[in-house]
Amino acid sequence: MSESQVKQQNTNAYHAQAVISFAIAIAAVGIGIFQLEASAWVRAFLAVSVLYLTTSAFTLAKVVRDRQESDRIVSRVDQARLEKLLAEHDPFQQKL
């Protein structure tokens, strides 16, 4: 009755690809802002905006991951309770 879930593992290559992709994206935006023909205030505002957007994206990803893990844990606890009740239930037991 109990189903074991397979824990998903990311490969080292996938992790490296994600890190490299993130680094390239941040570098490209940084170079684009630096090369932009605008005043220093405009470039500084864009740089701060990119940093804020990046930290917000990390925070959102963490919140979504935490919520999914929490839902999975609650689901597993409920499933364990149900399995315990079913294991303890004896339909032939006489009631007193």
Amino acid at 91: P
Q: Is the pLDDT of residue 15 over 50?
A: yes
Q: Which residue has better confidence, 9 or 25? A: 25
| Mean of the per-residue pLDDT values of the chain | 85
Say what the pTM is.
0.59
- Please give the structure tokens belonging to residue 88: 């303890």
Least confident of 3-17, 20-34, 50-64: 3-17
Place 42 in a pLDDT band, splitting at 50, 70 and 90: very high
Longest CA–CA separation in the chain, Å: 87
